[in-house]
Structure 1
Amino acid sequence: MTGTSGHGSAPLTADAPPGPLTPFTVDDYRARMRRAARAAAEAGLDGLLVAPGPDLVWLTGYRPPETERLTLLVLRDGEDPVLVVPALEAPDAEEAPGGPALDLRDWADGTDPYDTAVPLLGRRGRFGVSDNTWALHLLGLQGRLPGTAYVGLSEALPMLRAVKDAAELERMAAAGAAADRAYDEIRRVRFAGRRETEVAADLADLLRRFGHSQVDFTIVASGPNGANPHHEADDRVIADGDMVVLDFGGLKDGYGSDTSRTVHVGEPDAGEREVHDLVRAAQEAGFRAVRPGAACQDVDRAARAVITDAGYGDRFVHRTGHGIGVTTHEPPYMVEGEERPLVPGMCFSVEPGVYLPGRFGVRIEDIVTVTEDGGRRLNLTPRDIAIVH
């Protein structure tokens, strides 16, 4: 299937699986760490402290087990990056893609890991801390260094991972194409007479078949369950005449997919088509608002205006979009009050919806990236209402 990738950009083809992706190099990781340390200094921070999680993977390529043992990357502008690591895990850290760029400081079981970490921080200072740092470790540092202060990384540097380079965009496009293939296949399965959980399991299997290493969510919300935007698939049996919201995604090659389409079991009635067409028009309006220099809230405003003008404003109950990258939800957010400008390379969802309690819901979602002259969709499956059986 070939579709128009976006306004102001060339067509993007999603029929064939992409070829091999170029691996990230140690120089790529070294550049990311330098950029992060420089951004921290410009934000008035004395450094960054990064625990196991998506930030550490993005910065170093290292994905250690997330346990009670302290692993901490310390980044300070003008200094070499230091990774405090349990001695038993040091060999894996050395072999990570960014390992050669790291000064490893290991500590042994039975010793105090903060004896290794504390000298790297100094007695005073204000540090950015990755959001998923264990409270155990943050409290440990605070106890040893009462003169230090800490701020969450998403608050201090919300755009650190937001702008993707060419290699990252290649991975985002591949993840989007894989999710599209899963949607093309799920429309062929039987819906009527099966439980939501069964269709959700099919979706998860399809995502894995098409290259996802991690499935984060498979929402299958049929009939009145569709009026709950984050409904978890349950034992409800899907029936003829149901509208069904499908929202699914995860990680492929370390980067996220997330797409939503709404299908109908059998032919929809005129009222159902009207609501679906309204959401499709709102999604198109949100996409058309994507351009460099526009504010994030402009995307939300454009999509929301279409739904509000049609009299359904109180039934669009969530933001229009969220950023995506090495996690499926991250800054920036397409929501009223977010005045941050769009920049080429940003990737985020555009996903308006209408939810009618007791009846049904409709949501249509694409991942979009900002280009030099507009936006490009990374999901290319049809956005009209699909009939399933």
Structure 2
Amino acid sequence: MTDVTTLAASAPSALEPADAAERALRHRKLRAAMAEQGLDAILAYAPAWRRENVRYLTDTSVGGTATFALLPLDGPATAYSTRLSDLAPLLRTGWVDDARLIALPGAEALVDAVAELGLRRIGVGHLELLPLGFDRAIREGMPGVELVSATTLLDEARMVKSAWELERMRTAAAVSDAAWNAFVEVLEPGITEYDIVAGVEAEIKRLGAEDNFMLIASGTDEVLGMTPPSRRVIQAGDMVRTELTPQTGGYWLQICRSVTVGPPSPEQRRSFELFREAADAGFAVVKPGVTAHEIAVAENDVFRRHGLGEYCSDQWTRVRGHGVGLHLDETPIIEGNHTVLPEGATFIIHPNTFTPIAGYHVFGDQVVVTATGAEYFVSTERRLFSSDEGSRR
């Protein structure tokens, strides 16, 4: 059996200079926010489905049922996981100085570390997601320690991407381009939605993607939205829509496109031009200091000009875009949200919705806010594709 004490005591790997500079940048940013909010430490909590904050502090893909990263106002960063096999990777990246095994619900190793550091007010990322039994156990194990939510603090810290992060996202963008090419290349009448997704997954995994979030829809004007893939057989005349989001190096990069099976109909062409006009209107207002809401209004105004304003409501659509980074649906949500977008924020603009012209349509691109506007990540053409012409023609 592996010796837990030996693993926990192992020295972390030495960081490459660029990685060390990135870790130092994040620590400075978070500690400044801690000082401003009167916190002694930040404790990032990662349940199995929301690991972005622990990834931000550890640069490690973890698999435990519950994982934590602790960054005090002064002192080394440490990590804790319910999975023994997480400890070596956490130390291998070199982003934390110690990694220890914990058991639920008491998490004694974490409680003991807090007591040893003398922490009194801790901001917990995703405090709202702590299971009730676990929340009660750690509060009882930390008498006199105040736990407050630091979810917004961490969301805001992650919203502005560094040059180091943008480089990783550009790598993910290249995988997104390849994924779209694979999507179009396999498309033909008689193939199922499952087969399309399998072809995409094979290509992105070959390129080193860690994961992929993907929705798909096929059909004509009866399509009301996107779902996970089904056994539906693709037919001539269909428009096949996808929201495609591979993850590489921890970062998700999303692209929304549609392709017709055979030549597009006049209605499909008209629908695409409407959605491209709406997306372009959103991109046109992007600059440092604009709000997410202003981007949504610019998109929605296009639908209103075409007499389709009712399809901007939550009856037909959820959002006009959202942040994308270490989480695939993060701050800011581009709809009714007055978050100010600073330079370095990354998000996708996609006016995805149903209209009676050609059913549900998807189109959009992820961008980063620059000093002069918006920079696209992917190089895939911004047009309505057809299976007859292939992905690059």
Give the TM-score, by structure 1 length: 0.82
CA distance in 2, matches of 1:111, 1:184: 46
User: Partners of 2:59 and 2:252 in 1: how far apart?
Assistant: 16
Distance in structure 2 (CA, Å) of the matches to 1:118 and 1:312: 56
- Out of 119-128 and 312-321, give the one that drifted further: 119-128
- Match status 1:294 vs 2:268: no
Contact 1:279 1:362 in 2 (8 A): yes
Q: Secondary structure at the match of 1:51?
A: strand
In structure 1, what is the equivalent of residue 26 of structure 2? 32
Per the alignment, residue 222 of structure 1 pairs with 219
**1:214–1:44 distance in 2 versus 1, CA, 3 Å:** same
Asked if the contact 1:245/1:263 (under 8 Å) is kept, the reply is: yes
DSSP 3-state at the match of 1:48: strand
Paired position in structure 1 for 2:242: 246
What's the CA shift for 1:365?
Answer: 1.4
Task: Give 1:299-310 correspondences, 5 Å limit.
Answer: 299-310=295-306
Distance 2:364 2:44 in 1: 32
Task: Tell me which of 172, 175, 178 is aligned to 1:178.
Answer: 175
Distance (whole Å) between structure 1 residues aligned to residue 98 and residue 358 of structure 2: 58
Q: 1:40 to 1:221 in 2, by over 3 A?
A: farther
1:314 matched to 2:313: no
Tell me whether 1:43 sits opposite 2:37 in the alignment.
Answer: yes
For the 8 Å contact 2:64–2:81, the answer to whether it is kept is: no
Q: Secondary structure at the match of 1:161?
A: helix
Amino acid at match of 2:325: G
Residue 264 of structure 1 deviates from its aligned partner by 1.0
3-state DSSP of counterpart to 1:325: coil
Superposed displacement of residue 323, structure 1 = 0.9
Q: Give how far 1:370 is off.
A: 0.5
Q: CA deviation at 1:294?
A: 1.0
SS in 1 for 2:290: coil
Unaligned runs of 5+ in 1: 1-21
* TM-fit CA distance, 1:218: 4.3
Alpha-carbon distance, 1:38 to partner = 2.0
8 Å contact from structure 2 (residues 256, 365) kept in 1: yes
Q: 1:23, CA displacement in angstroms?
A: 7.9
1:160-217 per-residue CA deviation (whole Å, 9 max, x = no partner) reads: 1111111211111221122112212322223312211111211222222333121222
> For structure 1, which segment, 241-250 or 184-193, has the greater mean C-alpha deviation from structure 2 after superposition?
184-193
1:335 alignment counterpart: 335
Which residue pairs with 2:135 in the alignment?
Answer: 138
Deviation at 1:63, TM superposition (A): 3.6
Q: What is the identity, as a one-letter code, of the residue corresponding to 1:254?
A: G
- In structure 2, what residue type is equivalent to 1:324? V
Post-superposition CA distance 1:216-237 (Å, at most 9, x none): 2242433357421x42211111
- 8 Å CA contact 2:300–2:309 kept in 1: the answer is yes
Moved more, 102-111 or 252-261: 102-111
Question: Would the aligned equivalents of 2:175 and 2:246 in 1 still touch at CA under 8 Å?
Answer: no
State the alpha-carbon separation in 2 of the partners of residues 160 and 227 from structure 1: 36
- Is 1:56 the counterpart of 2:54? The answer is yes
Specify whether residues 280 and 58 from structure 1 end up closer, same or farther in structure 2 by C-alpha distance, changes over 3 A only. same
Structure 1 residue aligned with 2:199: 202
Task: For residue 124 of structure 2, give the secondary structure of its aligned residue in structure 1.
Answer: strand
Matched letter for residue 186 of structure 1: F
For the structure 1 residues 132 and 379, does the alpha-carbon distance in structure 2 shift closer, same or farther, using more than 3 Å as the test? Answer: farther
Q: Is the 8 A contact 1:243 1:360 kept in 2?
A: no
Deviation of the 1:360 alpha carbon: 2.5
Q: How many residues end up aligned between the 2 structures?
A: 362
1:40–1:128 Cα contact (<8 Å) kept: no
Partner SS, residue 188 of structure 1? helix
The residue type equivalent to 2:320 in the other structure is T
Query: Which structure 2 segments of 5+ residues have no match?
Result: 1-15, 389-393
* Paired AA for residue 276 in structure 1: F
- 1:367: how far off? 0.5
Where 1:233 maps in the other structure, the secondary structure is coil
AA of the residue aligned to 1:364: F
Residues 267, 166 of structure 1: alpha-carbon distance in 2 compared, 3 angstrom cutoff: same
2:367 is aligned with 1:368: yes
Q: 1:301 to 1:191 in 2, by over 3 A?
A: same
Superimposed CA distance per residue, residues 100-125 of structure 1 (whole angstroms, 9 cap, x where no aligned partner) = xx256777999933541441575853
